[in-house]
Amino acid sequence: MKLAATIGVLLCLGAPVFAQDSPFIAPSGSRPLVNPDGTYVFQHLPHSDILFEGQIAPRIIIVDSIGKATRRVLLDGKPGVWGYQVSATPMVRLRMFDETSNPVRTPSYMPKGTFQLARFQNMSTSTDSDTDEFNEGPIAMWLIDTIPFGHHSNGQNGCLFTSEVRDEEGECVELVPVDPKTVNKENGSFSTNYIEAMVFYGRMYLDSEGAGAGEFATRWEWRGGIGIQLNPEGYVGGSIKPELSDLYGPTRVLFGGMAARRDVWRCGRVATEVRLQYLTDAPSGIPALITQAEGACFPRRWGGAGLFVRIYHGQDYYNLGFAEKITRLQFGVTLQRDQFLSFRIKPL
Amino acid sequence: MYATLSYDVTAGLISVDDVRQKMLDVFKDRETCDLLSDTLICAIENTADYLALVRKLRKVGNDVDPQFQFVITLHDAGAPLRSNATFPKAKANEIIDPEE
């Protein structure tokens, strides 16, 4: 019964997602989505008190030259071509709990700005731009993916621990010393600001099947990268406080890798992704390494929606869950993320 | 997608009819539709197919140099073609906007 209800919720919440329309291929000259966050609605195993979980992460592209760059990569001489993109993502994560009145407690508000700098180069061994060998690449891509400012809070104003109350000046003070402290998950305030930077290298292998007139589009691609996330104290209003910093793991080394292919079986896009986070100063009881691996299929004619499955192990990523370790098999509906880049051939 | 071809055949060592036949042979396995005697539209599978067609036409041009010159332009499937030519509209529409 619970499983049936869960499936029903996933399908109902997935319905608006199906109404979206996001092409698998970003034509040259358009404003492509490169390495964005995903939008998800999902459940997990083993079952917990969570009815469903979601992440809404639309990327709003403010300025872009990556699209224009893809019109110059297949020119004679195989020049290195640079492009950049400035975007904003008003990301929200939420969990609905299987309790009386099904509360959504307490949502993660995670708005962020992103600056990406990309360099493309045709690595084909051919030098004749009128041949398939030249236009099929592969195209090498260096991607510097930075978040100069990201915020993560839960919109609450209570004290972080259940043993604390606010004094007359609004500061949280402990009435009776307790060890260990229990996190106030009802209305405890969680807030941090972060800076993140990653460097990726990858390759895109092109063909013209399914691409627009005069274009070769990515048939399959891979990329891998390394980076760092810092959650410094005093970084703009809403930054992390010392008592949270000690328990959160404010410095994280990031690793990421992905591979995706176009038109496999009934999927317009098949993608797999691995992400690792190493907490350099992990709090006690929390493993230093966060591991997640994800696979997704985006069927054709689903308007960019797809199904995914993910295995996650490590520190809970949901605001006040930072003090807990979770291991979950997550599955549900997702909206298409990366688009396959398409490159214009040299004008004849 | 589809392409529009305009070509010019001039008199020379090879007869005009032979040159024209060499050019038409390039299109023998392809949906085509004449707009005028020296203009036609043809079905194209993808950009690689278009580049291959260009190479074949160039070879014809080299073989009969300088009797055959051409311009072939690629269009997206469904891209509107406005023309004052008298041609079989149904056939042309099959090429320009084929059903999937």
Q: Where are the domains of chain B?
A: 2-77
Q: Which of B4, B45, B46, B95 is the best substitution to test chain A (most A C-beta atoms within 10 A)?
A: B46
Are the Cβ atoms of B54 and A348 closer than 8 angstroms?
yes
Are the Cβ atoms of B46 and A214 closer than 8 angstroms?
no
Phi/psi class of residue A81: alpha, beta or left (left: φ > 0; alpha: ψ in -120 to 50)? beta
| The pLDDT of residue B100 | 59
pLDDT, one tens digit per residue, over A15-60 is 444 444 558 999 999 999 999 999 999 999 999 999 999 999 999 9
Q: Is the pTM of this model over 0.80?
A: yes
| The pLDDT of residue A22 | 59
Share of chain A above pLDDT 70, in %: 93
Are the Cβ atoms of B55 and A130 closer than 8 angstroms?
yes
Residue A3 has pLDDT above 60, yes or no: no
| The pLDDT of residue B94 | 86
pLDDT, one tens digit per residue, over A76-94 is 989 999 999 999 999 999 9
CA A125 to chain centre: 34
Question: Chain B: residue nearest A133 by CA?
Answer: B48
| The pLDDT of residue A170 | 85
Are the Cβ atoms of A208 and B47 closer than 8 angstroms?
yes
Token readout for A94 is 């939420």
Question: Chain B: residue nearest A217 by CA?
Answer: B47
Residue A9 has pLDDT above 60, yes or no: no
Residues of A in contact with B79 (CB under 8 A): 213
Residue A6 has pLDDT above 80, yes or no: no
Read off the pLDDT of each residue in A140-167 and give the average, rounded to a whole number: 93
Confidence of residue A195 (pLDDT cuts 50, 70, 90): very high
Q: Residue B95: helix, strand or coil by DSSP? A: helix
| The pLDDT of residue A298 | 94
Read off the pLDDT of each residue in A120-149 and give the average, rounded to a whole number: 95
- CATH match for B2-77 among 3.40.50.800, 3.40.50.620, 3.30.70.240, 3.40.50.300: 3.30.70.240
Beta bridge partners of A311: A293, A329
Q: Chain B closest CA to A341's CA: distance in Å?
A: 15
Give chain A's largest Cα–Cα span: 79
Share of chain B above pLDDT 70, in %: 96
Are the Cβ atoms of B48 and A130 closer than 8 angstroms?
no
Q: Please check whether residue B68 is in contact with residue B75, taking contact to mean a CB–CB distance below 8 angstroms.
A: no
pLDDT, one tens digit per residue, over A218-230 is 999 999 999 999 9
Question: Chain A: residue nearest B45 by CA?
Answer: A209
- Please give the Cα distance from A295 to A301 (Å, whole number): 19
Residue A154 has pLDDT above 60, yes or no: yes
Residue A205 has pLDDT above 90, yes or no: yes
Are the Cβ atoms of A208 and B48 closer than 8 angstroms?
yes
pLDDT, one tens digit per residue, over A230-282 is 999 999 988 999 889 988 999 999 999 999 999 999 999 999 999 999 999 88
**How much is the ipTM here?**
0.82
Beta bridge partners of A202: A141, A223
Residues of B in contact with A131 (CB under 8 A): 51
Residues of B in contact with A209 (CB under 8 A): 46, 48
Are the Cβ atoms of B48 and A132 closer than 8 angstroms?
yes
CA A201 to chain centre: 17
Are the Cβ atoms of B76 and A213 closer than 8 angstroms?
yes
Interface membership of B48 toward A (CB under 8 Å): yes
Confidence of residue A12 (pLDDT cuts 50, 70, 90): very low
Strand runs (DSSP E) across chain B, as ranges?
2-9, 32-36, 39-43, 68-75
Confidence of residue A348 (pLDDT cuts 50, 70, 90): low
